[in-house]
């Protein structure tokens, strides 16, 4: 069907000089040749770790922007990795751990480069953290640091005092990995993270070896350590321990330190006399830096940039740190973080502790296969 000229437009053109009409026509043609920049629908799909945001963060973002947020949670890097690798996850913002996961995913092209012009708070980020992140994300092109914590041990102070011989150290991986110690805690409940990338390096640190080692001999030694204590483990899980520790249902948990801080807070709030101790073992522990990134096929990349920029506001990120017990990398947020959290040596550890923390590098496919086999064997016993 021929296109009928709009009468009003024709009348407007009729009153113009030829030059004006030609300019307007050129402008119109130019606009037609530009890529469609239709405004995104007011929707954002976020996939984050469980227990990793303040209760009002999303509400505030929606109130300010009108963007409705679908918020889903996971508790393992492997779950996120599987969704991203399958493609078309539908997620706009996700929160992988920098090493090894972000590193592998950036290499695989699973994230889109960030448009820094849309991240106005970028300049507030701690340059030391940004520099460290470059090993996983060269040039800091794809990811913004979100929350930071070591992986350590949480325990029920009274139960350990009752069950362990006087003088048993509390600041060592031996609490978990020495069969003579952990067997005494079997009855009150011991849990391990359901994550080979966390458990084997911790066992290596206990043995005095390099936690980040990728040697198959070291892996075999770590697997042997874990097999020996396996009969004392009630379960492998990466989030359930928060409530169980707080309620006194388990007495020793291998966990992400911020989650252990939440367990300690929940126990205090419940007021049932459960007192939780938290340690970053003296032999050294994994330092986890989780980042925000935008999948390459995110349906709402503009909204994603807005959300990431919103998260980096000092008041917003400080409220998250105050809720979840993880440190953040936004320097102007420091004065807004509660004094007791800033002073908590497991959340903002002193330099001597930091110096012993390490990251787990990406593994070769061969090493990953061996590690996965070792993990299945340790968990199932065959």
Binding site for ligand SPD (CB under 6 A): 49-52, 97, 151, 256, 259, 286, 288, 290
Residues contacting 104, CB < 8 A, separation 6+: 81, 362
Instruction: State which residue, 229 or 286, has the beta carbon closest to ligand SPD.
Output: 286
Residue nearest to ligand SPD (CB): 288
Instruction: State which residue, 151 or 174, has the beta carbon closest to ligand SPD.
Output: 151
- Comparing C-alpha atoms, which of 165, 251, 222, 233 is closest to residue 193? 233
Question: How far apart are alpha carbons 12 and 308 in whole angstroms?
Answer: 45
Instruction: State which residue, 44 or 193, has the beta carbon closest to ligand SPD.
Output: 193
Instruction: State which residue, 161 or 214, has the beta carbon closest to ligand SPD.
Output: 214
Burial state string for 72-90 with b = 16 or more CB within 10 A and e = fewer than 16? eebbbbbebbebbeeeebe
Instruction: State which residue, 67 or 195, has the beta carbon closest to ligand SPD.
Output: 195
Q: How far is the CB of 262 from ligand SPD (least distance, A)?
A: 8
* 8 A C-beta contact, residue 41 and residue 300: yes
Q: How far is the CB of 67 from ligand SPD (least distance, A)?
A: 24
- Comparing C-alpha atoms, which of 292, 378, 356 is closest to residue 52? 292
Q: How far is the CB of 151 from ligand SPD (least distance, A)?
A: 5
Q: How far is the CB of 91 from ligand SPD (least distance, A)?
A: 17
User: Is 278 in a helix, a strand, or coil?
Assistant: strand
Q: How far is the CB of 196 from ligand SPD (least distance, A)?
A: 12
Instruction: State which residue, 164 or 363, has the beta carbon closest to ligand SPD.
Output: 363
Q: How far is the CB of 290 from ligand SPD (least distance, A)?
A: 5
Following DSSP, what letter does each residue of 99-167 receive, concatenated?
IIIIHHHHHTT-BPPP-GGG-TTGGGB-HHHHHHHTTTSGGG-SEEEEEEEEEEEEEEHHHHHHHSPTT
Q: How far is the CB of 302 from ligand SPD (least distance, A)?
A: 27
DSSP state of 338: -
Instruction: State which residue, 188 or 257, has the beta carbon closest to ligand SPD.
Output: 257
Following DSSP, what letter does each residue of 225-267 receive, concatenated?
HHHHHGGG--EE-SSTHHHHHHHTS-SEEEEEHHHHHHHHHHH
Q: How far is the CB of 373 from ligand SPD (least distance, A)?
A: 22
Residues β-bridged to residue 44: 69
* 8 A C-beta contact, residue 47 and residue 82: no
* 8 A C-beta contact, residue 288 and residue 148: yes
Instruction: State which residue, 160 or 246, has the beta carbon closest to ligand SPD.
Output: 246
């Amino acid at each position: 069907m021929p296109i009928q000229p709009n009468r009003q437009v024709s009348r407007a053109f009729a009153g113009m000089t030829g030059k004006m009409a030609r300019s307007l026509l050129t402008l119109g043609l130019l606009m037609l040749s530009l890529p469609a920049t239709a405004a995104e629908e007011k929707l954002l799909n976020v996939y984050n770790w469980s227990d990793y945001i303040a209760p009002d963060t999303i509400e505030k973002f929606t109130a300010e922007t009108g963007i409705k947020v679908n918020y889903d949670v996971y508790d393992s890097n492997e779950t996120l990795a599987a969704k991203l690798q399958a493609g078309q996850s539908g997620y706009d913002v996700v929160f992988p751990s920098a090493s090894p996961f972000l590193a592998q995913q950036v290499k695989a092209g699973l994230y889109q480069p960030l448009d820094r012009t849309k991240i106005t708070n970028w300049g507030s980020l701690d340059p030391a953290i940004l520099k460290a992140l470059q090993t996983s994300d060269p040039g800091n092109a794809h990811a913004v640091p979100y929350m930071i914590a070591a992986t350590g041990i949480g325990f029920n102070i009274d139960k350990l005092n009752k069950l362990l011989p006087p003088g048993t150290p509390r600041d060592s991986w031996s609490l978990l990995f020495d069969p003579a110690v952990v067997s005494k805690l079997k009855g009150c409940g011991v849990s391990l993270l359901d994550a080979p990338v966390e458990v084997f390096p911790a066992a290596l640190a206990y043995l005095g070896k390099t936690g980040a080692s990728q040697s198959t001999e070291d892996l075999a030694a770590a697997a042997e350590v874990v097999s020996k204590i396996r009969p004392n483990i009630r379960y492998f899980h990466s989030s359930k321990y928060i409530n169980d520790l707080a309620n006194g249902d388990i007495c020793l948990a291998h966990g992400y330190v911020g989650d252990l801080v939440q367990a300690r807070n929940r126990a205090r709030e419940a007021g049932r006399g459960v007192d939780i101790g938290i340690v970053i073992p003296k032999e050294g522990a994994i330092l986890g830096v989780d980042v925000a990134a935008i999948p390459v096929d995110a349906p709402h990349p503009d909204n994603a940039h807005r959300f990431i920029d919103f998260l980096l506001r000092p008041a917003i990120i400080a409220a998250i740190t105050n809720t979840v017990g993880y440190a953040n990398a936004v320097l102007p947020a420091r004065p807004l973080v509660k004094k007791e959290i800033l002073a908590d040596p497991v959340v903002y550890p002193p330099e001597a502790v930091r110096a012993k923390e390490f990251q787990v590098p990406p593994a070769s496919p061969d090493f990953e296969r061996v590690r996965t086999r070792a993990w299945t064997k340790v968990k199932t016993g065959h």
